[in-house]
Chain A
Amino acid sequence: MAATKEEIVEGLAEIVNEIAGIPTEDVQLDKSFTDDLDVDSLSMVEVVVAAEERFGVKIPDDDVKNLKTVGDAVDYILNHQD
């Protein structure tokens, strides 16, 4: 069953917390991964791979660079999950 928007935000928050040590409550839709959450380009790859596993989506490298904010990632996952 596909995850809801709330579930995706919650899941991403846990992933970002695990990889970058950012408190889950700071992971909000309008936050930029690099500017606000201290997720650099390499950590972003780890976030993406963890999100792929958790939500059953494929996020190719060419699309990763378009995911600037948490909201971008949530929308991408919502639109691409089975």
Chain B
Amino acid sequence: MTAKIRPAKGAPYARILGVGGYRPTRVVPNEEILKHIDSSDEWIRSRSGITTRHWAGPEETVAEMTLAAAGKAIADAGITPEQIGAVVISTVSHFKQTPSIATEVAHRLGTGKAAAFDISAACAGFGYGLTIAKGLVVEGSAQYVLVVGVERLSDLTDLTDRTTAFLFGDGAGAVVVGPSEEPAIGPTVWGSEGDKADVISQTVPWDDYREGEVEKFPALRQEGQTVFRWAVFEMAKVAQQALEAAGLTSDDLDVFIPHQANMRIIDSMVKTLKLPEHVTVARDVETTGNTSAASIPLAMERLLATGQAKSGDTALVIGFGAGLVYAATVVTLP
């Protein structure tokens, strides 16, 4: 016989309740990058808008940065760690694959026995994690979910590659997603384009080391022009679709928080989307660099901390990166 299964009881809707970030203490100016490449401060600024980035020291591990950001997000949400039912961490720079970094974080935060796992969605990781969290809260498998994007991309940077050496930064950004009586996270427009897998990738897979064929540690590389075209023009379409899916137009927006890949991409996206003047645009990349999955929550935290955005504002967020993968949605800021 087919027994009647009782489903979990979820919340009507989900929302971001709190946000927190951690930036490593060491600030690295362009001058330091120039020790290893033939370039100039002016060239780096004009191609990327980046003036400084934070690089993690030996003590600022993926776990420690995550704990610092998560602690702030949990406090900001006004809950206690024991209330967290799931921990979702997006990273491409945690070098011990098993066990996941999420289990260590769940334990050390004092969540009790929260479900915990890592995801790999590169620079779209925050949107992927947020989408999973929203589903868990509404479906009822967790009341509160911690979502973290954390990277030590300095570990995956080829300091001698003049096209990428200046791009990447380290840091962690976290949010707590929980129940809401009103819709506060829109439909996610997301996807992957595996036919473009070679456009951004790690130079060599780890198992090449076992064969002893590789001398140089892996690094991230990308085809700049191809990434730029895809990011600006294809991702503007995705951002527009996310707005429409939420039943909104750009006039309804207060804030735009694109993945902080490069200022030129951000500026061109804003132009392509024809965003109204009143929309505040996150430009955290200037002093943070590209921190992949951490970039959106880090930028969100800074906008709120500096008063450029406020709680209750409507924000369009979009992440895009290696895969290629992307995820966009509209959220109410915590």
Q: Would you call A46 an interface residue if the criterion is a C-beta within 8 Å of the partner chain's C-beta atoms?
A: yes
Q: Would you call B217 an interface residue if the criterion is a C-beta within 8 Å of the partner chain's C-beta atoms?
A: no
Q: Could you mark each residue 57-79 of chain A with 1 if its beta carbon is under 8 Å from any beta carbon of chain B, else 0?
A: 00001001100000000000000
Indicate if the CB atoms of A49 and B229 lie closer than 8 Å: yes
Q: Would you call A42 an interface residue if the criterion is a C-beta within 8 Å of the partner chain's C-beta atoms?
A: yes
Q: What A residues does B46 contact at CB under 8 A?
A: 40
Q: A41-B224, A42-B264 are in contact. Are A61 and B47 (CB under 8 A)?
A: no
Q: Would you call B98 an interface residue if the criterion is a C-beta within 8 Å of the partner chain's C-beta atoms?
A: no
Q: Would you call A37 an interface residue if the criterion is a C-beta within 8 Å of the partner chain's C-beta atoms?
A: no
Identify which of residues 194-239 in chain B touch chain A, using a CB-to-CB cut-off of 8 Å.
223-226, 228-229, 232-233
Indicate if the CB atoms of B223 and A45 lie closer than 8 Å: no
Q: Residue on B with the closest CB to A38?
A: B46
Identify which of residues 140-175 in chain B touch chain A, using a CB-to-CB cut-off of 8 Å.
none
Interface residues on A, range: 10 to 19
Q: Residue on B with the closest CB to A49?
A: B233
Q: A42-B264, A45-B232 are in contact. Are A64 and B225 (CB under 8 A)?
A: yes
Q: Residue on B with the closest CB to A53?
A: B233
Q: A40-B47, A45-B232, A49-B233 are in contact. Are A61 and B264 (CB under 8 A)?
A: no
Q: What A residues does B47 contact at CB under 8 A?
A: 40-42
Identify which of residues 244-278 in chain B touch chain A, using a CB-to-CB cut-off of 8 Å.
264, 268
Main secondary structure of the interface of A (DSSP, over half): helix
With most chain A CB atoms within 10 A of its CB, the pick from B223, B228, B233 is: B228
With most chain B CB atoms within 10 A of its CB, the pick from A42, A49, A61, A65 is: A42
Q: Would you call A44 an interface residue if the criterion is a C-beta within 8 Å of the partner chain's C-beta atoms?
A: yes
A24 to B324, CA, bound (A): 37
Indicate if the CB atoms of B224 and A42 lie closer than 8 Å: yes
- Count chain B residues whose beta carbon lies closer than 8 angstroms to a beta carbon of A: 12
Q: What B residues does A41 contact at CB under 8 A?
A: 47, 224-225
Q: What A residues does B226 contact at CB under 8 A?
A: 61
Q: What B residues does A42 contact at CB under 8 A?
A: 47, 224-225, 228, 264, 268
A49 to B233, CA, bound (A): 8
A58 to B47, CA, bound (A): 25
Cβ of B223 to closest chain A Cβ, rounded Å: 7
Q: Residue on B with the closest CB to A65?
A: B225
With most chain B CB atoms within 10 A of its CB, the pick from A41, A61, A64 is: A61
Q: Which of the residues B223, B224, B232 comes within 8 Å of A46, measured between beta carbons? A: B232
With most chain A CB atoms within 10 A of its CB, the pick from B225, B226, B233 is: B225
Cβ of A34 to closest chain B Cβ, rounded Å: 12
Q: What A residues does B233 contact at CB under 8 A?
A: 49
A69 to B52, CA, bound (A): 34
Identify which of residues 12-67 in chain A touch chain B, using a CB-to-CB cut-off of 8 Å.
40-42, 44-46, 48-49, 61, 64-65
A42 to B264, CA, bound (A): 8
Q: Residue on B with the closest CB to A41?
A: B225
Q: Residue on A with the closest CB to B48?
A: A42
A69 to B100, CA, bound (A): 52
Q: Residue on B with the closest CB to A62?
A: B226
Interface residues of B (CB under 8 A from A): 46-47, 223-226, 228-229, 232-233, 264, 268
A-B contact pairs, 7 of them (CB 8 A): A40-B47, A41-B225, A45-B228, A45-B232, A48-B229, A49-B229, A61-B226
10 additional contacts (CB under 8 A) given A45-B225, A49-B233: A40-B46, A41-B225, A42-B47, A42-B225, A42-B228, A44-B225, A49-B229, A61-B226, A64-B225, A65-B225
Report the 9 A-B pairs with minimum CB-CB distance, sorted nearest first: A61-B226, A45-B229, A45-B228, A42-B264, A42-B228, A45-B225, A61-B225, A49-B233, A41-B225
